[in-house]
Amino acid sequence: MEHSIEHKVTAIVEPLIQEKGLELVDVEYIKEGAHWYLRLFIDKEGGVDLDDCTNVSHAVSEALDRDDPIPQAYMLEVSSPGLERPLKKDEDFERFKGKLVSTHLHAPFQGYKDFTGYLVGLVNDEIVLEYEGEQVSIPRSLVQKTHLALEF
């Protein structure tokens, strides 16, 4: 159920966010305790600030009130994706080539469910990482999530 809500919300809000020169990075619809949260993660070159989040929140609130894709009450949060930004779209895998990323899988691949390595790119629907001196090609169908990792 939540999955289709995330898709409906994306269809409604992404054009509004793009009009403001911003990118919709991710949509999360999640229940925490007794409350539902709709979280929108936005970004732009150089990062987003509080004004960007506030402007998007107002524009998106009006559109969601009008189209009403979510049956229950929820809290809307708009923020930056942070330093460990998720990689979702094909363009993300192109844009962040060479960066350190972590990939978590639904099921083990070559005996592991977690890989951290330097992103080589997306090739034939596989995420290619430089991992412990070798290239690993992980089928995207096994991937639960991939995000930028912090280097220390």
Residues 96 and 34 occupy one common structural domain = no
Q: Which of 86, 96, 83 is nearest to 122 (CA)?
A: 96
Residue 68 lies in a domain: yes
Residues 43 and 105 occupy one common structural domain = no
Which tokens go with 36? 């539902």
pLDDT digit string (tens) for the chain, length 152 residues? 456 899 999 999 999 999 999 999 999 999 999 999 999 999 998 889 999 999 999 999 999 999 999 989 999 999 999 888 999 999 999 999 999 999 999 999 999 999 999 999 999 999 999 988 899 999 999 999 999 998 77
Residues 6 and 75 occupy one common structural domain = yes
C-alpha 116 chain-centroid distance: 17
Does the pTM of the predicted model rise above 0.75? yes
Residues 12 and 71 occupy one common structural domain = yes
Domain count, the chain: 2
Tell me the CATH number at 107: 2.30.30.180
Q: What three-state secondary structure class fits 8?
A: helix
Residue ranges making up the domain that contains 47: 2-79
